[in-house]
Chains A and B, each alone.
Chain A
Amino acid sequence: MRKVFDFHGGVHPLENKHQSVRTAIADAGIPPELVIPLSQHIGAPSNPVVGVGDHVRKGQVIAEALGFVSVPKHAPSSGTILAIEERLIAHPSGHSAPCIVIATDGKDEWAPLPDTRPYESLDKAELLELIRHAGIAGMGGAGFPSAVKLSVKAGITIDTLIINGTECEPYITADDMLMRERSDRIIEGAKILHHLIAPGETVIGVEDNKPEGIAALRKAAEGSGIEIASFPTKYPSGGEKQLIEILTGKQVPSGGLPSDVGVVCQNLGSAVAIYEAVVEGKPLISRITTVTGEAVNEPQNFEVLIGTPVSYLLQKAGYEPSKNDRLIMGGPMMGVTVRDPSVPVVKTTNCLLAPTPQELPVPPPAQACIRCGMCAEACPASLLPQQLFWFAQGKEFEKLEHHNLFDCIECGACSYACPSSIPLVQYYRASKADILHQRKEQEKAEHARLRFETRQQRLEQAEADKEAKRAARKKAAEARAKSAVDDGNGEDPIQAAIARAQAKKAAQQGGGNESEQEKLEKTVVAARKRLDTASKKLEEAKVDGSDLVDALQSGVDKTRAKLDAAEKALAALGEAHAAVAPESEPTDAAQAAIQRAMAAREAEAALSPAEEAKADLEKLEQRLEKTRSKLAQSQASAGEEKVIEALTSTVQRLEQKVEAAQQALSETS
């Protein structure tokens, strides 16, 4: 016997499983209409590949998988595509979703099945592709695509492959009946999975409240090396994390995957579906569903085609709507109430529960939390539900996360145990949604902030680059000028100025047009590129049926318009450029200034030092004459004393200067 471990918490709700195991699995038959939702599980919805009015045969692909976490959908029976439209589905929020509706013809004609090969001869990738193509998604809980769950990353060794036959929810007996009636298929499926995963051991875990099923499995498993482990009945031992702890004693790290502790889990029903896909080539188009509750007269299990309306199935079990006020898809602990019985059975529908109001009474109004701690004792994740409740009421999100709200598996054990009848799980769901929403908002804000900062940085960088270039140019110019002066024989600064000015002028005239043209050419090229990518995106969006199509379309139109404008402008510029006549001799101010400067320089350069001194002397003598005559005038007209004084001193200074100049002249000559 295998050593089994216990997990913290858990509750013991009334089993109520005996009602639906009295008869064998019945065939629910072919309903007149099948409704196949394009999304039946976590991950991307699939994409329809049939049109309205097409005839389809049983097993034919009607919708292709989109993306990695997605599986195709197959026609569960032959008939005609009636519509591809929004239909009500079983969802907590009671919303509609796109569905393919098939009007069945009752012939149940199979499409040709692919040839199969012995699974031993198939490699891992081939097997995964088969499983994926057969549309197999987890048939117990969230319906995660099986091929994804089975794709273990390279380098990770799996010690234990667990087939989950726990079925811990009250009322549900679908897996129990599978064990009793199809244990061979379960074991074969388990063998295929064993071959695929190559684990150290393969274990089928079953709660000990299914002795017949366990016996049947043990018999079928003889000699196969597959172990059947049974353990005490306690809700929620069928939760993946709880089952892993029961069978291995290990806990999956928070936020991690079972493969982190060397475990891969698969549902029992999925194992059978995998057997049928690999060995018989049949896609997943039907499942076992328990129909039970006191509002049905013949509670039992049915083999149901996916897409069968719930109302059709209920009627098969003798449903009395007058007795029923609450219709639950799934079990009484985690099931979802169905608003309208027209919703279809999907790949995860393990149970339809139609209880009477006496059987599952509406909860009484919630009383005050007395912090009795019964919820904490019941919690399989070892959380403190009463504290979480307190924080949830106060919307204290940080405290909620600190108390590990996101490790809550929403099993409902706390609500079940609460003496004050507080809908605890409801509070946690709402808080989780609030927190996720808040996180998304924060992410958006953070993204916007980063974008802004990056832009700001880019602008600053561009400015700094420009400044640096400017500084470098200035420095180079100064260095050039200095070296010219130092060398004496170097380039004349004036010549350099002339050359620079001429270059600038030339650039302004012909080059100016050229750069504009270049700019326009660049614009055209860029616009073309943008138009290409935008068109591509638009195509993709159209294929996806994304709601961005309109936005993308307008984007493409705008880009095209811009491109046209740029091309026109370019053409116009080309013509204009051709039309401009060749430039005449430059006659602008810069040129004139240069010429003047040159003339002055030449004149100055022509004078010898002696001549210079002579010229100075002449100038001084002239000034002396002028001042003297002014002084004589002032004295004659008896002007102010001060003026006379000032003029007298000026005359004296000038006389001295003239003397100095005469001396200098005599020295030079």
Chain B
Amino acid sequence: MALMRLSSPHAHGPASTQRVMLKVLVATVPGILILTWFFGYGTLVNILFGSVIALAFEALALKLRGRPIGFYLSDLSALVTAFLLCIALPPYSPWWLIATGMASAILLAKHFYGGLGYNPFNPAMVGYVILLISFPVQMTSWAAPRGLAATPGFLESVQACFLPATFDGITMATPLDVLKQNSSLLIEDLWSQNPLFGRWGGLGWEWVNIAFLAGGLWLIQQRVFTWHAPIAMLATLTLLSALFYDGGSSASGGSPLFHLLSGATMFGAFFIITDPVSSAVSLRGRLIYGALIGALIYIIRVRGNYPDAVAFAVLIMNFAAPFIDYYTQPRTYGHSKRGEQ
């Protein structure tokens, strides 16, 4: 054989982008299962249809940009975007809602900026926010949890997706909504009077959050991302909700446990803010980035007009990520201060 000339290093580690993406997909499985258990097949149908659409848009964009389609599709990044957006969408979303969201995420937020690695904003969250602003009714009606209403079967769920006009599901406000609207009841009374509340958070929601937490911890153990951003976000959220809990009055913002186990807290902490492309990269930067997202989530949840806040908080901090990175360069070996000789 003719001898090759290559530059060092000649050895390569086991890590690959596919593997990273695949691990993220696997880690969402417990959360998806619990969502399905409590709210029916809606999320699953979302994901199945959304994945197909996402791959189609990805392939289209790659073709238009003259890139090798198979090579880039196999990095699985489109699939990850599809999973994350479809988990965030309400179950039983109509097909056109999912398709619009995917187009925004894959085409607008990702390929318009140059594809994987060049998008300044989290594609799934861009898709989510565009839908939330454009179709508030569809985006804020969430299925009733198991126990409060009958959950539709699989065929009905497919029907809900493709023939939305014929589907008549039961939707309810989410616990975060209820708490925000509450102005007369003490927290304790609210909990005992409203069946939407479970032991710590919303009925069903607490288990969904615990499942995503489990998936996230596994990803940290697998070294897919570091603990810095998620822990900083959760710690800030806990701190702020504890500060403003005021013992559970009718004006209370809700207990720390309620905030940790409601809405998209854990999903956001481990699957959204950890998106490496659009977040800060230095470890100190990730701490700041996560903490500020946690603070924004609390502020928007309690003071804002939207019931949950992860998407907005993440997009706002995506803006700040390069700035944070610039000021949190690690101290290089042999340098006395950061950024100095």
Contact = CB atoms under 8 A, between A and B. Distances in A.
A368 B11 contact: no
- Most chain A CB within 10 A, of B13, B117, B329, is at B13
B3 A339 contact: yes
Nearest to B77: A370
Considering the complex of A and B, which 6 residue pairs feature the smallest CB-CB distances, nearest first? A412-B9, A368-B117, A254-B334, A332-B11, A419-B15, A381-B333
A420 B17 contact: yes
A196 interface: no
A332 B75 contact: no
Interface stretch (B140-148, B236-244, B276-284): B276-284
A259 to B, nearest CB: 14
Contacts of A404: 332, 335
A94 B333 CA distance: 32
B281 A252 contact: no
A312 to B, nearest CB: 16
Interface in A384-420: 384, 386-387, 402-404, 407, 410, 412, 415-420
Contact of B226 (A13, A377, A382, A423): A377
Contact of A367 (B4, B8, B17): B17
A524 interface: no
Contacts of A253: 334-336
A461 B291 CA distance: 66
Interface stretch (A65-73, A317-325, A504-512): A317-325
A477 interface: no
Interface in B61-98: 71-72, 75, 77
A573 B176 CA distance: 111
Contacts of A601: none
Interface residues of A, number: 76
A53 B30 CA distance: 80
Interface of A: 7-8, 11, 13-14, 92, 94, 170, 241, 245, 251-256, 321-328, 330, 332-341, 353, 355, 360-363, 365, 367-374, 376-377, 380-384, 386-387, 402-404, 407, 410, 412, 415-421, 423, 425-426, 429
A362 B5 CA distance: 11
Nearest to A254: B334
A11 B116 CA distance: 26
B116 A368 contact: yes
A340 B333 CA distance: 37
Interface residues of B, number: 47
Contacts of B118: 368
Contacts of A335: 8, 10
B1 A324 contact: yes
Given A252-B334, A421-B16, A360 B4 contact: no
Contact of B15 (A332, A374, A382, A403): A374
Given A362-B6, A416-B9, A373 B226 contact: yes
Given A332-B10, A335-B10, A367-B17, 11 more contacts: A92-B7, A241-B334, A255-B334, A255-B341, A334-B8, A339-B3, A340-B3, A362-B6, A368-B75, A373-B225, A376-B330
A407 B335 contact: yes
Nearest to A326: B4
Contacts of A387: 281, 325
A8 B178 CA distance: 48
B332 A371 contact: no
B7 A429 contact: yes
B339 interface: yes
Contacts of A416: 9, 11-13
Contacts of A384: 281-282, 325, 329-330
A376 B5 CA distance: 27
B13 A365 contact: no
A240 to B, nearest CB: 11
A13 B281 contact: no
